[in-house]
Structure 1
Amino acid sequence: MITIYHPRNFIDERTYIIEVLFSEFLGIEYKLFEYEGENYKIILENNTTLIIVDSFFNNQDSNMYLDIKNIPSYVNFITNPFIIEKDIPILYGTDQLEVTKNQIICGIDIFASSFFMLTRWEEYVNKERDIYNRFPAVASVAFKNGFLERPIVNEYVEMLWNMLTYLGVEQKRKLRKFEFIVTHDVDIITYWKNLKTNVRILGGDLIKRKSIYVFFEHLLELLQVKIGKRKDPFDSFDYIMDLSEAANIKSRFYFMSGGVTKFDNYFKINESAALNILNKVKERGHIIGFHPSFNAYNDPIQWKKEKVLLEETANVTVKEGRQHFLRFEAPITWNIWNEEEMEMDCTLCYADKEGFRCGTCYEFPVFDFLSRKQLSLKEYPLIVMEASFTAYQTVAPQYMEEKTKALIEKTKKYNGNFVYLWHNSSFNIPAWKSFQPVYENILRSQIKVRK
């Protein structure tokens, strides 16, 4: 068994990140000890040694590292024989690499760099926020230094494994398999909702869009929906499940069930239309999850109230979901989910940019850096949300498809989880018709993968 020694300070933080990298990600058994040394010392079964230079925690005067001055101000990209990409970013550490037959000294502080990405303490100390009080991609170290579209924690893990392999590690690493996880936030279930909404849409065709053709097309659609000759455009659930089933995938539908703001309550979870959808999802064997409302991300009382209503209405126990508007506050939101015994959160992607917000495409147990403890909840980071390309960027459908497929291939390279979000309301209406083939092509591409 591998033996790992670490310095005697920041024990909770060190224990957590060693556990994630070695046990969760690599599946390597080890014994962990504290010692008086300054660096991480990893001794393999054959007595060879890997030393990871500590360039972060040992530089802190106390247990308080949560300061904006500790965010990397400059990220250097270096090469060495143990990486699998053309280069690797150094968040903490140096390019020092000393290799002999029995020992490697690595200057990149893999542990502190990974801890920085996974725990999101960056977002706690950097107070920059968008109009919805979210930490934006453009404020992140990853975006500013051009590695948001790289799962750099996975890259560190590969480098770590390659160094262990060079030194003659006897254990086998955990075998992982690429998984395509498709999710759907259910914010609204009807396009033709009521008289006010209908007049607004039809009036917009004439006044804003200045299209008599679209007006009559919409009017005909409205009449057909009202007499039951046609589905409402947002009733895309059978269509979604048909595509998922063809690819042997279960769709995950995350339902809203309350809220106190103008961004919530576009439907009632116990109304007949919603009940019909819930029953249909259950009957077809897909997954019902939870989509807490706009303000619930830091309000445990509101959060629990909505979860209880969803579970009672749908007669299911929900264990996974995602925050509405991707609103998230580290570590408060994670603690709410953990206290309610949720198992899987899929919130962590930036609204304004696709990519690897947590630096990984693997699920991982989260860490509360304020109480300094690992939680039971696991984060499955979201990698692509369709609205990132349309609401926050101006791109063509072809670009969206190419970028999504590139991120899928990147995730496949590391046998990770590609978590994909496409709302049920992003189909069948003028704003989304040109993008709908993108979703179809992405799902159909998974059919070949799974056969």
Structure 2
Amino acid sequence: MLLVYTHQISPRVRYVFKHICSRILGVEIDFTTKIEKFIAHGSLKMSYTKQQLGNEFFIKSHDMMFEQGLSDIEVHVQDWDNTKGFFSIGDKGGLPFDIFASSFYLLSRYEEYLPHVKDEYGRFTATQSLAYKHDFLHQPVVDIWAYKFKEALQKQFPDFEFPTRNYCIKPIIDVPSAYDYKLKGIMRTIGGTIKDLFQLRFRSLYLRFMVLLGFKHDPYDTFKYIINRQKSSEFKFLFFFLIGDYSTYDKGINPNKKSFVSLIKHVADYCNVGLKTSFFAIDNIDVLKKEKNRMEDILNNPLQSSRQSFSKLNLPESYRNLIDLEIKEDYTMGYVNHIGFRAGSCTPFFFYDLDYEIQTPLKICSYQLMDYALLKNKSLLDKKKVLNETIREIKQVNGEFVAVFHNYTFSELERWDGFKELFNIILDSANES
């Protein structure tokens, strides 16, 4: 057990130490404000305060870790070996930076509460982030810092044996619409036909009627392929089905259609299933509750996981609504058009509410890659290179790779050519040393 002496055991201190020590390094942790207890402890220990007590392992604490609410914090990012660091504490401590304050800043998404420019969907974008501006978005810096901390501790406590953890994957299949042409209803089918005619999309028009007449397979119906891949993988896939009402933003299948309900039940026999909340459910708890109840009626089980439409988050309201409805996990944290680590970590963490200064029970599983981000790379070779670089970064810290693909990603549509191979690279990465 690691004993931490600090002058004040604040909620922020407790939260971030638990993430770094317990979740990443697998070490039990306890805190004390009593010097006598600290001195008497015969195993792993450190002080996290303003002044070093003696010659113990020491990291000088940043004032932010004992504050409440938001303040105007100066962040100066500096090079640190092959990564970056901020909140420098000089050479008096066991590390040159207060990695706990830095990690808290990233995990709490402190910067997303500060004034920023949103995109057309009302989202915080990657280009606004500290990580993007200082070129460390591609690294799980919180996990890297944790391993630097572990290395420094081992020098002072060479007899202590740290547990090991293994790299793992969590494939996400996002389903905004299960079918491209099927189960769309008469009015939407007529509307789609007229649109194809006006835009001279004769191939789409032909395919639409071939699918509706049963002569061709719906291009978005890739569920048989995905389930077959699940059968050969030790890691459970997690599907997110949109079952919200039709709107400007969400154009899924009517959840009252028996064939659609049967599909969700069939997928749930092999994979885990969560709720992809509709765009208007993000800020409206009544709509969210209706969609949650609808999914629970289909699954005959309490809903465990959610993912917000368009990866949109309004902090802290979006997460508070999920907590109020007792949803356990969320998979929205990430960037649609950029590969990287939005919260700086590839280890699931709990949402910290900066307004109430508490760690909540909502687990945040931040995704590092969405299929759309790979489209930036024109050749399949470039896509593979970027993908393998991300896998390598996560493997170096034995983290969890969360990748979001869509059901239509596995179709024969030209845009998604080669993506089955990319998905297989992710699945195979867990079996490679």
Distance 1:305 1:170, change over 3 A: farther
Q: Is 1:324 aligned with 2:309?
A: yes
Corresponding residue for 1:92? Answer: 87
Cα 1:166/1:440, change in 2 over 3 Å: same
1:295-314, Cα deviation, whole Å (9 max, x unpaired) = 22232222111111111133
Distance 1:71 1:324 in 2: 33
CA distance in 2, matches of 1:156, 1:114: 8
Separation of aligned partners in 1, 2:388 and 2:63: 36
Q: Does 1:4 align with 2:9?
A: no
Alpha-carbon distance, 1:444 to partner: 4.9
Percent pairwise identity: 23
Identify the residue that residue 209 of structure 1 maps to in structure 2: none
Deviates more, 1:168-177 or 1:247-256: 168-177
Match of residue 198, structure 1, among 188, 193, 201: 193
Could you list the per-position Cα deviations for residues 387-419 of structure 1 after superposition, in whole angstroms to 9, with x for gaps in the alignment?
2344xx474443233212211121122111111
What is the distance in 2 between the residues matched to 1:186 and 1:301? 22
Structure 1 stretch displaced more, 397-406 or 129-138: 397-406
What is the distance in 2 between the residues matched to 1:428 and 1:295?
Answer: 28
CA positional deviation for 1:46: 6.7
C-alpha displacement of 1:77: 0.7
For residues 238 and 380 of structure 1, the distance between their equivalents in structure 2, rounded to whole angstroms, comes to 26
Is residue 410–residue 420 contact of structure 2 (8 Å, CA) maintained in 1?
Answer: no
Q: What SS is found at the alignment partner of 2:407?
A: coil
Q: Please say if 1:70 is aligned against 2:73.
A: yes
1:110 aligns to 2:99 (yes or no): yes
When residues 6 and 205 of structure 1 are mapped into structure 2, their CA distance, relative to the original with a 3 A threshold, is: farther
> Equivalent residues in 2 for 1:146-185 (5 A)?
146-168=135-157, 170-185=159-174
Q: 2:322 aligns with which of 337, 346, 366?
A: 337
1:149, distance to aligned residue in structure 2 (A): 0.4
Structure 1 residue 6, shift from structure 2 partner:
1.7
Which residue, 305, 327, 348 being the options, matches 2:290?
305
* Paired residues of 2:410 and 2:419 also in contact (CA < 8 A): no
Residues 41 and 52 of structure 1 are in contact (CA less than 8 Å); yes or no, is this contact kept in structure 2? no
Paired with 2:222 and 2:230, the residues of 1 have a C-alpha distance of 12
Report the alpha carbon displacement of residue 186 of structure 1 after superposing the two structures with TM: 1.2
Give the conservation status (yes or no) of the 8 Å contact 1:41–1:51: no
Question: 2:222, 2:410 within 8 Å by CA — same for their partners in 1?
Answer: yes
Of 427, 434, 442, the match for 2:423: 442
For the residues of structure 2 that align with 1:149 and 1:379, how far apart are their CA atoms? 19
Residue of structure 2 equivalent to 1:101: none
Q: How many angstroms apart in 2 are the aligned matches of 1:118 and 1:33?
A: 24
Structural mapping, 1:359-370, within 5 Å: 359-370=344-355
Q: Which runs of 5+ in 2 are unaligned?
A: 46-54
Structure 1 position 379, deviation (Å): 1.1
CA 1:176 to 1:310, structure 2 compared with 1: closer, same or farther past 3 Å?
A: same
Which residue of structure 1 lines up, in the alignment, with residue 341 of structure 2?
356
Determine the C-alpha separation between the residues in 1 that align with 2:242 and 2:274. 9
- Alpha-carbon offset, residue 319 of structure 1: 0.4
- Deviation at residue 294 of structure 1 after TM alignment: 0.7
Gaps of 5+ in 1: 80-85, 99-103, 207-214
Structure-to-structure mapping, 1:276-315, within 5 angstroms: 276-283=262-269, 285-315=270-300
- In the superposition, the TM-score normalised over structure 2's length comes to 0.87
- Tell me if structure 1 keeps the 8 A contact 2:59–2:95: yes
Shift of 1:19: 1.6
* Structure-1-length-normalised TM-score: 0.84
Aligned-partner SS, 1:138 = helix
Q: Does 1:57 align with 2:60?
A: no
Backbone CA RMSD of aligned residues: 2.7
Q: For 1:114-160, what per-residue CA distance to the aligned partner results, in whole angstroms no more than 9, with x for missing partners?
A: 00111101101133211111110000000000000000000110011
1:257-276 aligned at under 5 Å gives the runs: 257-259=243-245, 261-276=247-262
Q: Indicate if the aligned counterparts of 1:257 and 1:268 stay in contact, CA closer than 8 A.
A: yes
